[in-house]
A = this chain, B = another copy of it.
Amino acid sequence: MSPMNNGPEARAIENLIRKLAQFSPLSAEERASLKALPLRLRQYARGELIVEQGSRPEESAMVVSGIAFRFKLVPDGARQIVGLQVPGDFVDLHSFVLKPIDHAVAAASPAVVGRIPHAALEKMLEKHPRLSRALMWDMAVDAAVAREWLAIMGRRSAYQQLAHLFCELYFRMDWAGQVRDRGFDFALTQAELGDACGLSTVHVNRSLQALRKDGLIGLENHTLVIPNIDALAKTAEFDPAYLHLLK
């Protein structure tokens, strides 16, 4: 399937281009090169593994639809989720330069993932060296998000951590065009939320109940509704600047 049609994969690439353009304006040729990137598409079921920890990918994967999460397994069997990716996000751009990959990636919902061979990226960068800086920028934003997570995890209550995570996801999903009626598909289990925030499932459950009782979120039918994002952002002390999603 070519990425030049109007399917969801074209939208994902459009999202990527729109994102990279925030670093610096892209020429028509650069945009064309990005659009021409070959995407090997594949569908994943909820929970299915997309990238294996310790592998040495020859391609980098991008979320086309759905949500993916990246996680590390610690020796005693516990899991820590280190990032979430929405349509248009690379899940492992860094594997372009850093191998083996230090974490796994799995589908948080039914998802479509497109894979771009590193060789194709190399070829593109050869032709458009300036894009190299744009990819660096994308990697840097990814790292900035991880640092924000560190700050949240280290210094926030469970209640605030969850609120912050929902805010982040809301902004990113909205930017990716996935929000309608203040809500979006959200299939993460409470166990997964716990793995993202470093909390036990039971405590996640209780904190979610508190958030619901306070009218800050609605979460049912695999849909997360945030009736008042400003209110949620206020309790989470959330500032979207670190996401670098200008518009």
A17 to B195, CA, bound (A): 37
A74 to B96, CA, bound (A): 33
Which residues of chain B are within 8 angstroms of A83 by Cβ–Cβ distance?
147
Tell me, yes or no, whether A230 is within 8 Å of chain B by CB.
no
Q: Are B143 and A139 closer than 8 Å at their CB atoms? A: yes
Q: Are A143 and B94 closer than 8 Å at their CB atoms? A: yes
Which residues of chain B are within 8 angstroms of A135 by Cβ–Cβ distance?
136
Known: A132-B129, A147-B72. A155 touches B98 (CB 8 A): no
Most B CB within 10 A of own CB, among A23, A79, A96, A143: A143
Tell me, yes or no, whether A21 is within 8 Å of chain B by CB.
no
A150 to B195, CA, bound (A): 11
Most B CB within 10 A of own CB, among A98, A141, A142, A150: A150
Tell me the number of copies of this protein. 2
A22 to B146, CA, bound (A): 24
* Contacting residues of chain A (131-158) with chain B, CB-CB under 8 angstroms: 132-133, 135-137, 139-144, 146-151, 153-156
Tell me, yes or no, whether A244 is within 8 Å of chain B by CB.
yes
A140 to B23, CA, bound (A): 18
Tell me, yes or no, whether A246 is within 8 Å of chain B by CB.
no
Partner of A198, one of B80, B125, B154: B154
Nearest Cβ on chain B to A149's Cβ, whole angstroms? 6
* Contacting residues of chain A (67-100) with chain B, CB-CB under 8 angstroms: 72, 74-76, 78-80, 82-83, 94, 96-98
Q: Are A97 and B144 closer than 8 Å at their CB atoms? A: no
Q: Are B136 and A102 closer than 8 Å at their CB atoms? A: no
Which residues of chain B are within 8 angstroms of A237 by Cβ–Cβ distance?
74-76
A192 to B140, CA, bound (A): 25
Which residues of chain B are within 8 angstroms of A136 by Cβ–Cβ distance?
94, 96-97, 132, 135-136, 139
Q: Are A150 and B80 closer than 8 Å at their CB atoms? A: yes
Tell me, yes or no, whether A44 is within 8 Å of chain B by CB.
no
Residue of B nearest to A138 (CB): B97
Tell me, yes or no, whether A197 is within 8 Å of chain B by CB.
yes
Q: Are B146 and A147 closer than 8 Å at their CB atoms? A: yes
Q: Are B97 and A155 closer than 8 Å at their CB atoms? A: no
Tell me, yes or no, whether A186 is within 8 Å of chain B by CB.
no
Tell me, yes or no, whether A171 is within 8 Å of chain B by CB.
no
A181-217 vs B, CB cutoff 8 Å, 1 = contact: the mask equals: 0000000000000010110000000000000000000
